[in-house]
Chains A and B, each alone.
Chain A
Amino acid sequence: MGYTLNTAQANQVLAALRKDYTVYAPKRFRNQGRYSATDVIRYDEVERWEDIVWDVKSDYPAKEVLTPIQQAIFYFTEDEYRESKGPKKPILVLARPCDINAQHVQAKIYAGNGGYTDLYYERMRELVKFAMMECNGGDDTCFCVSMGTNKTDDYSLALKFSEDGVQVQVTDDAFAPYFEGQPEADYTPAFVEENELKVTLPDLEDKEVRKALKNHPMWKEYDARCISCGSCTVACSTCTCFTTRDIIYGDNPEVGERRRVTSSCQIAGFDQMAGQREFRSTAGDRMRYKVLHKFHDYKARFEDSHMCVGCGRCTHRCPELISISATLNKVSAAVDEIKAGQAKQ
């Protein structure tokens, strides 16, 4: 079923949906951007249709709804760890195809890896349904088509936003009642078929090539440029890494909570054990570790897609202007050089 709604009608539907769902979408936060008088666009609960930012890509990914920057996983007293309670109400997340595809990556790690299912991820994922926002092409950092993540069929609703309102396709019957009485009009979502930016993925299948790549001088450039701030992984649609921290409450030091806090392989100390030295002590080492995970290691483990959906947010958020697509081109050049060297031998 399809509908065409103006903003007032869209608000009626949103109000009806909000009775049964917590609705999350990209929202603009004024003056909370990186520089003075700039905004940040990130996911938050929406109450008004006009608050949904649809014309530009959000700075931060939809994963923040499912795997928040920090969350309490246990409350503890001296002799007990009590599991935190998750949300009870179903959740509707408005997201572009890249963000929806990213959840399939997160699920492989959180809900499958090693036969362990993470309770905190799973209890959120079970509540979440997606309303796919038809993408208007993203920006000059996007390369979803190169990553094959420009399309998805994992959605209950498809939405095409415009200044006048929204076109809707309902693919999940559970959502039909919310649109009853609204003006019907057929709508089939379109997907981005070409990005301005095209990335050729380096061929990292060969073990000897990877071994040589790990020792390639190309990574040294990042020692000087990358400041190991972790902005790229926080903005990443797929990155899952976290650390657990115990926090005590100020008024009673015997009780507190164990929190899961987003972590980053780009930050100093990520791999450091107590009383020992880091394994990856330079920014270049950490960049190499991240890039190989994204474009080889994840796929090698899960026999799935790569661990990058081409959303370009890492490039967009890097304060040192490091571009993941430019990095991939450098990797490809290094791989060509390594292969040429091997052919000579």
Chain B
Amino acid sequence: MMNPVQPKPCTILDVHKESAHEWTFRVETDAKVSHGQFMQLSIPKIGECPISVSAQGDGWLEFTIRNVGKVTNVIFEKTAGDTLFLRGPYGKGWPVDQFQGKHVVVITGGTGLAPVRSMLNCFASQPDMVKSVHLISGFKNEEGIVFHKELEAWKEKFSTIYALDNDTKEGWRTGMVTAFVKEIPWDSFEGNYAVVVVGPPPMMKFTGLELLKNGVDAEKIWMSFERKMSCAVGKCGHCRIDETYVCLDGPVFPYTVARDLVD
């Protein structure tokens, strides 16, 4: 019988420091992952945690991790050549098929950029997939900025608004992402659009409300959730909200489902 929680040893290929507290680990694996799915990362003696896949390539996956917990603190002690245990992928990712041929608006807060990064890279390398990409990415401050190189590269490919919550930075705006929602040329999309929102829960809540205020159709908005998990296969109960399991039915939800979930 297949054991869905069996971790497999994988080799870390590279560690890239995005910021002081957010590092990207490239790990050797042949796991096939849809954009927006997550994996369980394991360290023997310490435990497991769910991390979304932030990029993927031939024989590798990337995970962008903040060192805030028992497992992630130990992952930060690892270097290229060390072993990390993986299992997955789990959950439902972005409905990329439904985004094809549409104007895609992506709004992220902080490291919320990680779960959409692989999809954005896919749109950047295959511009015919979607009509256009509008990206609003907000960070708390300059130290919190991740994926510097890609943010620069995406400027050429997408219509971008980058912002810091309170600080100033050359070429960047100051303010919460919600403040820039009205700058998206919604009318020009003629209804042919999809909106992706990822970030901390309050950011997603207020962005959702702001989108509705701007006349955006609730049925065209998608959000990705983060919750505590032990198993990632619908058994442990930690991520359940109402009759929904974030690990199985999410992490990506249509806004029409997401807005009614009460933890």
Contacts and interface: CB of A to CB of B under 8 A. Distances in A.
A300 B70 CA distance: 35
A320 B28 CA distance: 52
Contacts of B70: 274
B3 A83 contact: yes
Nearest to B4: A116
A256 B238 contact: no
Interface stretch (B96-104, B116-124, B172-180, B223-231): B223-231
B3 A119 contact: yes
Contacts of B233: 113-114, 116, 118
A18 interface: no
A19 interface: no
A246 interface: yes
Interface in A87-109: 109
Looking at chain A's contact residues, the main secondary structure is mixed
Nearest to B47: A246
Interface string A107-147: 00110011011110111000000000000000000000000
A114 B234 CA distance: 6
Contacts of A214: 262
Q: Size class of B's contact patch?
A: 35 or more
Contact of B42 (A81, A119, A243, A253): A81
Contacts of B226: 273
Contacts of B19: none
A243 B6 contact: no
A7 interface: no
A243 B49 contact: no
B44 A241 contact: no
B263 A271 contact: yes
Given A113-B235, A242-B235, A248-B45, A271 B227 contact: yes
A118 B4 contact: yes
Interface in B166-210: none
Interface stretch (B133-141, B212-220, B242-250): B242-250
B158 interface: no
Given A81-B85, A297-B242, A273 B230 contact: no
B46 interface: yes
Contact of A76 (B45, B66, B228, B230): B45
A81 B243 CA distance: 32
A76 B44 contact: yes
A271 B6 contact: no
A40 to B, nearest CB: 25
A258 B71 CA distance: 14
A275 B111 CA distance: 14
Nearest to A279: B263
A118 B243 contact: no
Nearest to B229: A273
Interface string A188-229: 000000000000000000010001001000000000000000
Given A119-B5, A271-B263, 14 more contacts: A81-B42, A81-B44, A118-B5, A118-B231, A211-B260, A241-B237, A244-B48, A253-B45, A256-B44, A258-B44, A270-B238, A273-B227, A274-B68, A297-B242
24 contacts: A76-B44, A77-B44, A81-B7, A119-B2, A119-B3, A119-B4, A119-B5, A121-B235, A207-B260, A211-B260, A242-B230, A242-B235, A242-B237, A244-B230, A246-B44, A256-B45, A258-B47, A263-B230, A272-B228, A273-B69, A275-B68, A280-B263, A285-B263, A292-B242
Interface of A: 73-74, 76-81, 83, 109-110, 113-114, 116-119, 121-123, 207, 211, 214, 240-246, 248, 253-254, 256, 258, 263, 265, 270-276, 279-280, 285, 289, 292-293, 296-298, 300-301
